[in-house]
Amino acid sequence: SSSSSSSSSSSSSSGIPLAHRDDSSSSSSESARLMHIEHKHGAHNYAPMPVVLTKGRKCEVWDVEGKRYLDFLSAYSAVNQGHSHPRIAAAAIKQMEQLSLTSRAFHNDKLGPYEKYITNLLGYDKVLPMNSGVEASETAVKLARRWAYDVKGVPNDMARVVFAEGNFWGRSIAAISSSTDPESYGGYGPHVPGFDIVPFDNLDALEEAVSDPNCAAFHVEPIQGEAGVVLPSNGD
């Protein structure tokens, strides 16, 4: 991810950010106070910019001093629809006032219609909703392994999943076990077995890897993001 995802705005009438705040010494006492609390009481698994946000509307966010920024990160695309989207906020409030959550121990009146809608939209037979990307990829690996044993006939505990070098899909044990970034996998072994790595955009290496009779799946980002926005060749 890019550290230039938020830019501070000046007094420009256009609203376009003209400066980037990259030094914590410029932070006000309130920002510094809040960052100190987070640093003292929170785990240090991120190194965020020294900006303490408190409000967002559409593509703009404001810090605790009222300084305005343009958000070019959009929570890693989770808020591509814009901050505080009125339709989404209204729908969330309406639903929470009626029924906040049901476990999968029960049916509810929203899940089935959603599953029908999304499978029809995307052309799939079934869907298994997940809360996050890493959960989705973990589930994909599980499904691939199960398919390999039940359908393909791979011997038990012998399934292999192929990943592209430079991948990033989360910070779970399985995700870091497929990583080639020492900052991701270093210090967390032993890692999950049965994962193979091939260079991104190398069809010869991929063909050799998936020709393994125990191969269950190839897990790949069509465009890599964490590795620096890496696009595959056209394949002509």
Mean pLDDT by 10 residues, the chain (236 residues): 39 34 58 96 93 97 96 90 96 96 94 98 96 94 98 98 96 97 96 98 97 98 88 84
Helices (H), 99-185: 111-122, 133-147, 173-177, 182-185
Q: Which SS3 state, helix, strand or coil, does residue 62 take? A: strand
DSSP state of 233: P
Q: Are the C-beta atoms of 47 and 35 separated by less than 8 Å? A: no
Q: Are the C-beta atoms of 23 and 84 separated by less than 8 Å? A: no
Distance CA 163, CA 169 (A): 11
Q: Which SS3 state, helix, strand or coil, does residue 200 take? A: coil
Q: In this predicted structure, what is the pLDDT of residue 77?
A: 84
- Global pTM value: 0.80
Mean pLDDT (the chain, rounded): 89
Residues 6+ apart with CB under 8 A from 193: none
> How much of the chain exceeds pLDDT 90, in percent?
80
| Phi and psi at residue 144, to the nearest 5° | -65, -45
